[in-house]
Amino acid sequence: MINLSLNTDAPGEDLGSSYLGCQLIAHNQTNHLFDYDEAYFNRVNTKAWKDVAMSSGYFENIHAYVQIPLWAWSLQPICTNITFKTFNLLFSIIQLICIVLIVELTAKKYTPFFLNPLPLSFVMAILSMTTPFQYAVFLTQTHAIFMLLVILSLYYVDNKPKLAGLSLALAVIVKVSPIFIMIYWFINKKFKAIISFSVSTFALITLTISTTGLNSFTDYIHSMSRVSKILLLSYNNQSFISFIAYKDILLGKISPHEIWRWKILTINNLDKFLSFLILIVLVCLFGFWSKKYSRFKGLYETGLLIITALFVPIAWTHYFIILTPVLMVLYQKNLELESQIKKKISRFIVLIILLNTEIIGMNPITLNNYMESWIPYFEFSQWLMIHSHFISGICVLILIFYLTITFKYSQKPQYITDN
C-alpha cells in the first residue's frame, strides 16, 4: 500500500486543479479560478490557466477547479513554495495517513474485531488491491481527507457534538454531498451537533468571502449550480443518474462514445428528481431505523456514506473507498449472526469486494486501452462492468435492508450477542 501511495509516476491530475487554483489566487487572478470549458468537463483552455501552469512547471492535463475558493487559498503556504512533484508526493502521504485513520476510527467506534493487528492488516491489504484505492492513488485525490472529516463527525457526534459539527462543516464546505447527514442527525435529535455545524459553516463562508472576495464565492455558487445539472457518462462516474442513462443510449439519444469523451450533457429533470428523492428517503429511513434498531446503528451511519455518494450527479470511482467502513461493520455484525444468515452475508461481502477489483469489475486506469473496441458491440453487460462500483454500493444497501428486515420479522433473535 505504501509503495502504491508513494508512486512518483502517478500523474496526480486531480490534484493539479488545487495546485493551479492556489497559484491563481497567489498571483491575484482569483477571477479566473472557476474558468471552465463549455463542452468538455475535464479541461480548461483559458490563457490564465495555461500561463499559470507553464510558470509553475505543471505539464499534466488541466482540470477545472470546482471546490470552494477557501480550499485553494488555504494551500498557498505550500503550493507557492514547492514544485508540483513535491506537492503531489506530500498529498500522496496525507492521503495514505487519512485512509489509515479512517480504518482505525471505524474500528474504534464500530468494529472492535478490527482493532487487532492481523485483521487490521488484512483490511489494508484488501483495500490496496481495490480499483477505487488504486485510482485515488493514481490521481492523488484529496477525497480521503474529507471522508476522514465525515468519519470524525460520526465518531464524535454522541460525546463531543460541537467537534462533530465542526468536522462535518469542514467536509461539507469542500465536498457538499455529506450535508445530508444533517437530516440523519435531526431525526436522532443531535441538535448540538447541528448548531455547531451551522455556526461553523457560517464562519467558514465568512472566512471565504473575507479572504478571496464576494465575487469568487458567487462564482463558486454558480459553479456548483452548473455542475449539479451536468450528466456525465464518463466511465468513472458511478452515480445512479449515470447508470440509468443507459436508457438514453438504447433510445439513441446518446452515443456510447460519450462514455470516454467527457462531453457535458444535460441531466433529465425527472432522473435528477428521482435520484434526489431516493437519497432523501434512504437517509430518513436510516435515521428512523437507527432509533428503532440500535444494534445496527453502525451500519446505518456508515451506510450514509454510500447513499450520499451514489445518489448525487457525479460519483467518481475513487469515492468508493467509502465502502471500507461499511464493509468492516458488516463483517463485525456477521460474526454475531447465526450460521445460516452468516453464509449469505459472507458471500455478499466477497461479491462487493470483487466488484471493486479487476477480477469481475473494471479499472478506470486501464479501461481506455480497450474501451473504443467495445463501442460497435456495446451491450448491457459492458454497461454493468463499467458501473461495477455503483453495483457494489447497491449491494451494500441491499445487505443493510436484508439484515434490518430479517431482524424485524424473525420469530427468534438472529443475534447471539447484542453489542
CA angle 89, 309, 94 (to 5 degrees): 15
Q: Which residue, among 11, 30, 396, has the nearest Cα to 213 in the 3D structure?
A: 30
Q: What is the pLDDT of residue 305?
A: 95
| Cell numbers found for residue 151 | 468519519
Say if residues 52 and 80 touch (Cβ distance below 8 Å).
Answer: no
Say if residues 96 and 5 touch (Cβ distance below 8 Å).
Answer: yes
Amino acid at 212: T
Say if residues 345 and 337 touch (Cβ distance below 8 Å).
Answer: yes
**Interhelix angle for 161-172 vs 143-156, to 10°?**
160
Say if residues 107 and 154 touch (Cβ distance below 8 Å).
Answer: no
Q: What is the pLDDT of residue 82?
A: 92
Whole-angstrom CA distances from 209 to 27, 32, 65, 146, 213 are 18, 16, 17, 21, 5
What gap in Å lies between CA 105 and CA 151, rounded to an integer? Answer: 7
DSSP calls for 46-91: -HHHHHHHHHHT--S------S-HHHHHHTHHHHTTS-HHHHHHHH
**Interhelix angle for 269-292 vs 388-409, to 10°?**
40
What gap in Å lies between CA 373 and CA 382, rounded to an integer? Answer: 11
Instruction: Tell which phi-psi region holds residue 387, choosing left (phi > 0), alpha (psi between -120 and 50) or beta.
Output: alpha
Q: Which residue, among 1, 46, 64, has the nearest Cα to 314 in the 3D structure?
A: 64
pLDDT tens, per residue, the chain with 419 residues: 554 444 445 567 788 899 999 999 999 999 999 988 877 777 788 899 898 888 888 888 888 898 999 999 999 999 999 999 999 999 999 999 999 999 999 999 999 999 999 999 999 999 999 999 999 998 888 999 999 999 999 999 999 999 999 999 999 999 999 999 999 999 999 999 999 999 999 999 999 999 999 999 999 999 888 888 888 877 788 999 988 887 777 777 777 777 766 677 888 889 999 999 999 999 999 999 999 998 899 999 999 999 999 999 889 999 999 999 999 999 998 887 766 788 888 888 999 999 998 877 777 777 655 555 554 445 666 677 788 899 999 999 999 999 998 887 664 544 444 44
Q: What is the pLDDT of residue 8?
A: 46
What gap in Å lies between CA 231 and CA 316, rounded to an integer? Answer: 13
- pTM for this one? 0.89
Q: What is the pLDDT of residue 372?
A: 52
